[in-house]
Amino acid sequence: MTARPSSSAPTRVLVLNSGSSSVKYQLLDMRDGARLAVGLVERIGEETSRLVHTPLRGGGEKRERTGAVPDHAAALKAVAGELAADGLGLDSPELAAIGHRVVHGGLRFTAPTVIDDEVLAEIERLVPVAPLHNPANLIGIRTATALRPDLPQVAVFDTAFHTTMPEYAARYAIDVETADAHRIRRYGFHGTSHAYVSRAAAELLGKAPEDVNVIVLHLGNGASASAVAGGRCVDTSMGLTPLEGLVMGTRSGDVDPAVTFHLVRVAGMSTDEVDALLNKRSGLVGLCGDNDMREIRRRIDEGDERARLAFDVYVHRLKKYIGAYYAVLGRVDAVVFTAGVGENAAPVREAAIAGLEELGLAVDAGRNAVRSDEPRLISPDHARVAVAVVPTDEELEIARQTYALVVD
């Protein structure tokens, strides 16, 4: 920990990571970074919502509840109730702040920020460029503020880490005046994860972050790649919104922009319908009906051709970005896999690196098969470029940034 308060000051931080249909949360004690409770509410808005709450201190039992949770506000109230039942409630005087993941911070927010009405208004203004995420983040902030109006509420932005990108990487090749008038540029997302994982990868290599160049592949439901040179992001695959780049669970990633005009002009779809198609009915789910890589692997093992094609499209895109960012960086020290798919799906890692021996990249089958929560190398000994798996921890990183801001 960078900052240490006086012995009587509150030391706990609650982190809320509100996604489009889920809320993940962690309560941490920042004296040592220990997690006191973790949990998630998923499938918010459906009949089959599920809350899983795990207290790690205080002796409470892990609990799972199912049944409709209608919206994010209800989800957060349920979370507050679970924490209170373990004596870890939001009314605790030990709570120093609440840290919120905010997906889009535009050009203005390049660092963690204490939220006031004006910051809230700016996050709201950015809703059109993060339509699946910023509305959920706003509900999280408003609900938490209503429960503890006296506490600092801190926003930690997905976009912040990417603000170091050079202008030629951030700019789209469209008319400059139009782009500037509407603030159209590459912003990039998952930055908290890319920052945390690139630093942890340097540590795994026994080097300072300033001395290493890494390609980070964050493969969760949303997925993005980044090229990080000496600790600074120099390019990333997501753009104005979290729709561009890699193939994702339900999002298309890169498509010819003219696909949109074609669907509007020729297929007669509305703009909102195309938006929903590309964000919610594309990617793995659009290709084969499933967005969970576990299910896709199971279907492939049964000989399912559509699942095979979905996997191949996913891996092909990933391989293209590895090659592109290799070229952008010039020298690569490590290619690092993280998030749900990256940490768990050995066949994705194997297939993405296969055939890249000329680039000094290879995966050792035995190492790749190991399951672990620890950062680890999966490349063979003496490989020119390391290939690694580094579990991400966006919540810990958000807690650290939140706490550092409020104790100073």
Ligand X SMILES: CC(=O)OP(=O)(O)O
Ligand Y SMILES: Nc1ncnc2c1ncn2[C@@H]1O[C@H](COP(=O)(O)OP(=O)(O)O)[C@@H](O)[C@H]1O
CB 16 to ligand X: min, Å: 13
Interaction partner, residue 273 (ligand X, ligand Y, Mg ion, none; CB < 5-8 Å by kind): none
Instruction: For residue 189, state whether it binds ligand X (rule: CB under 6 A).
Output: yes
CB 357 to Mg ion: min, Å: 31
**Could you say which residues in the range 121-150 bind ligand Y, by CB under 6 A?**
none
Residue of 29, 86, 158, 393 with catalytic role:
158
CA 287 to chain centre: 22
Distance CA 94, CA 83 (A): 13
209 vs 220 by CB, closer to Mg ion: 220
Distances in whole angstroms, Cα of residue 83 to Cα of each of 27, 35, 45, 80, 185: 9, 13, 22, 5, 40
Among 103, 144, 205, 278, binds ligand X (CB under 6 A): 103
Interaction partner, residue 103 (ligand Y, ligand X, Mg ion, none; CB < 5-8 Å by kind): ligand X
**Could you say which residues in the range 158-177 bind ligand X, by CB under 6 A?**
158
Segment lying near ligand X (by CB under 6 A), choices 4-12, 216-224, 385-393, 397-405 = 216-224
CB 112 to Mg ion: min, Å: 18
Strands (E), 237-385: 334-338, 376-377
CB 283 to ligand X: min, Å: 11
The mark string for 231-250 relative to ligand X (x by CB under 6 A, - otherwise) is -----------x--------
Q: Which residue is nearest to ligand X (CB)?
A: 222
Q: What is the DSSP secondary structure assignment for residue 380, as one 8-state letter?
A: P
**What kind and span of H or E run contains 27?**
strand 23-29
Crossing angle (nearest 10°) for helices 117-125 and 134-147: 160
Instruction: For residue 209, state whether it binds Mg ion (rule: CB under 5 A).
Output: no
CB 27 to ligand Y: min, Å: 18
Q: CA triplet 9, 10, 14: central angle to 5 degrees?
A: 160
Instruction: For residue 325, state whether it binds ligand X (rule: CB under 6 A).
Output: no
Among 340, 350, 360, 375, binds ligand Y (CB under 6 A): 340
137 vs 401 by CB, closer to ligand X: 137
Distance CA 403, CA 160 (A): 17
Distance CA 27, CA 90 (A): 10
Active site residue 175: no
Number of residues that bind ligand Y (CB under 6 A): 14
Please enumerate, as own/partner, the contacts of 60-69 that have beta carbons within 8 Å and a separation of 24 or more. 60/85, 60/86, 69/41, 69/43, 69/44, 69/45
Interaction partner, residue 190 (ligand X, ligand Y, Mg ion, none; CB < 5-8 Å by kind): ligand X
CB 261 to ligand Y: min, Å: 30
Where on the phi/psi map is residue 23: left (φ > 0), alpha (ψ -120 to 50), or beta?
Answer: beta
Instruction: For residue 220, state whether it binds Mg ion (rule: CB under 5 A).
Output: yes
Residue type at 117?
D
Widest CA span in the chain: 67
Give the strand order in the sheet containing 113-114.
63-66, 50-55, 34-42, 23-29, 12-18, 95-102, 153-157, 113-114
Instruction: For residue 194, state whether it binds ligand X (rule: CB under 6 A).
Output: no
Residues that bind Mg ion (CB under 5 A): 220
Residues that bind ligand X (CB under 6 A): 19, 103, 133, 158, 189-190, 220-222, 242
Q: Which residues are catalytic?
A: 158
